[in-house]
C-alpha cells in the first residue's frame, strides 16, 4: 500500500496543530517549529508497515533529533513532547489510520 502525498500532508497538518514541544513551560507547536512534516513522513512509514504501536511511535520520536541552540546540540523529540501531547499524537495517528 502506498500512502499518498495528500494523506501525509493532512497527517502533518493535524500533528502540527495538536502536538507541541514544551521548553520552560513555553509551548511551541510542531507546525511552528517546522517539525510536523518530517515527523508525519516518519510516522506514515509506520502506518504503511501496519506498525502503529505506542512503542514503535515512541521509538520513532526518540530517533527524531531536534537541533537546539543553533545546532550546537540535538535532543530526541520524545524528550521534548509532554505525555499528554504524546496521547494526542496517538489519537491523531489512530484517526488517520482509519482513513487508509
Place of cell 512534516: 37
Instruction: Please tell me the predicted confidence (pLDDT) of residue 2.
Output: 75
Instruction: Please tell me the predicted confidence (pLDDT) of residue 1.
Output: 57
Task: Read off the pLDDT band of 100 (50, 70, 90).
Answer: confident
- End-to-end, the C-alpha distance of the chain in Å comes to 9
Q: What digits encode the pLDDT tens for the residues 17-75?
A: 999 999 999 999 999 999 999 999 999 999 998 889 999 999 999 999 999 999 999 99
Instruction: Please tell me the predicted confidence (pLDDT) of residue 51.
Output: 85
Instruction: Please tell me the predicted confidence (pLDDT) of residue 27.
Output: 97
Instruction: Please tell me the predicted confidence (pLDDT) of residue 73.
Output: 97
Instruction: Please tell me the predicted confidence (pLDDT) of residue 3.
Output: 87
CA dihedral sign of residues 58, 62, 68, 70? negative
Q: Which residues pair with 28 in a beta bridge?
A: 21
Amino acid at each position: 500500500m502506498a500512502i499518498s502525498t495528500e494523506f501525509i500532508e493532512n497527517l502533518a497538518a493535524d500533528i502540527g496543530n495538536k502536538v507541541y514541544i514544551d521548553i520552560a513551560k513555553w509551548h511551541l507547536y510542531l507546525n511552528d517549529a517546522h517539525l510536523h512534516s518530517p515527523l508525519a513522513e516518519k510516522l506514515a512509514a509506520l502506518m504503511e508497515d501496519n506498525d502503529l504501536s505506542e512503542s514503535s511511535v515512541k521509538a520513532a520520536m526518540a530517533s527524531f533529533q531536534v537541533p537546539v541552540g543553533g545546532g550546537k546540540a540535538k535532543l530526541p523529540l520524545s524528550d521534548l513532547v509532554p505525555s499528554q501531547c504524546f496521547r494526542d499524537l496517538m489519537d491523531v495517528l489512530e484517526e488517520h489510520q482509519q482513513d487508509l
